[in-house]
Amino acid sequence: RKEVEQDPGPFNVPEGATVAFNCTYSNSASQSFFWYRQDCRKEPKLLMSVYSSGNEDGRFTAQLNRASQYISLLIRDSKLSDSATYLCVVNPLGTTDSWGKLQFGAGTQVVVTP
Amino acid sequence: EPEVTQTPSHQVTQMGQEVILRCVPISNHLYFYWYRQILGQKVEFLVSFYNNEISEKSEIFDDQFSVERPDGSNFTLKIRSTKLEDSAMYFCASSGLAGGTDTQYFGPGTRLTVL
């Protein structure tokens, strides 16, 4: 089983619509979770950290389900500028498998259309 | 806003040659990382570095790779004898605290092409 798995998409989303997607992770002892966004051939940029209680940052809402080992991201009122690849990132800090070693999913591509 | 910088943005080299990729982490950060991303694939961890020594490295980071912090600002990745399969985007990252307790910020990357 892959460490972090994501639906590659693409998710084609009309402007103004809502889109949501998940990722799953394999290491149940993982402690820190993030969503990064990556534009074509650019570096990953932190979108938001994901907390157990769920958190919201503007139009973006992230949820963590530890029991089922999945993380979700919801984007409301999609903008054209939201078109990107969204990377689910897990840091299994606290296990024997890590010291700051981020584990990346392969990304979910989102395409927002006019 | 402080940022991680990397040079060069693109490096083309012949197979078997040595390359050095350079990074300037965010100035008050203490933890440094290299990741790579082969075109069309996911970002992969290479190595983490703290207090002038390697903290952790992946299976990819074999004897051909080395890292160094030669002065108070630069952090370098050296590949001694490049192979075709080393062609990838190499990202440097830094964090202020141990990576699990603080965000890692990524530089813009160096695209390495091995011919």
Give the pLDDT of residue B70.
Answer: 87
Range of lowest pLDDT (A68-77, A81-90, A96-105): A96-105
Asked if B55 lies within 8 A of A100 by C-beta distance, the reply is yes
CA dist., res. A50 & res. A63, Å (int)? 6
Are A99 and B104 in contact, with CB atoms under 8 Å apart?
A: no
- Residue B98's pLDDT is 58
> Which chain A residues are Cβ-neighbours of B99 within 8 angstroms?
91, 93, 98-102
Q: For residue B5, what is the nearest residue in chain A, using CA coordinates? A: A43
First to last CA, chain A: 37
Please tell me which residue of chain B has the smallest CA distance to A90: B100
Please answer yes or no on whether B104 and A100 come within 8 Å at the CB atom: yes
Mean pLDDT check: name the lowest of A25-34, B34-43, B56-65, B88-97.
A25-34
Instruction: Determine what percent of chain A is predicted with pLDDT higher than 70.
Output: 94
Among A87, A92, A114, A113, which residue's Cα sits nearest to residue A102?
Answer: A92
* Distance in angstroms (rounded) separating the CA atoms of residues A39 and A10: 14
- The predicted model gives B20-42 an average pLDDT of 94
CB-nearest partner of A104 from B43, B98, B107: B43
Name the E strands within B1-115: 5-7, 10-13, 19-24, 31-37, 43-50, 53-57, 65-68, 75-79, 88-95, 105-106, 110-114
Q: Which of B23, B29, B43, B51 is the best mutation test for A, with the most CBs of A within 10 A? A: B43
Looking at residues A66-73, what average pLDDT do you find?
Answer: 94
Give the per-residue pLDDT at A97: 45
| CA neighbours closer than 13 Å in the CB half-sphere of residue B46 | 25
- E strands in chain A: 4-6, 11-14, 19-25, 32-38, 45-50, 55-57, 60-65, 70-75, 84-91, 103-104, 108-113
Residue A82 phi/psi, 5° resolution? -80, -10
Closest by CA to B81, choosing from B114, B111, B57, is B114
- pLDDT beyond 70 at A93: no
Question: Hey, of B5, B54, B104, B110, which one would you mutate to test binding to chain A, going by the most A CBs within 10 A of its CB?
Answer: B104
- Residue A51: the pLDDT is 82
Q: Is the pLDDT of residue B1 over 80?
A: no
CB contact under 8 A, A99 and B55: yes
- The answer to whether the CB of A23 falls within 8 A of the CB of A35 is no
pLDDT tens column, B32-43? 999 999 999 999
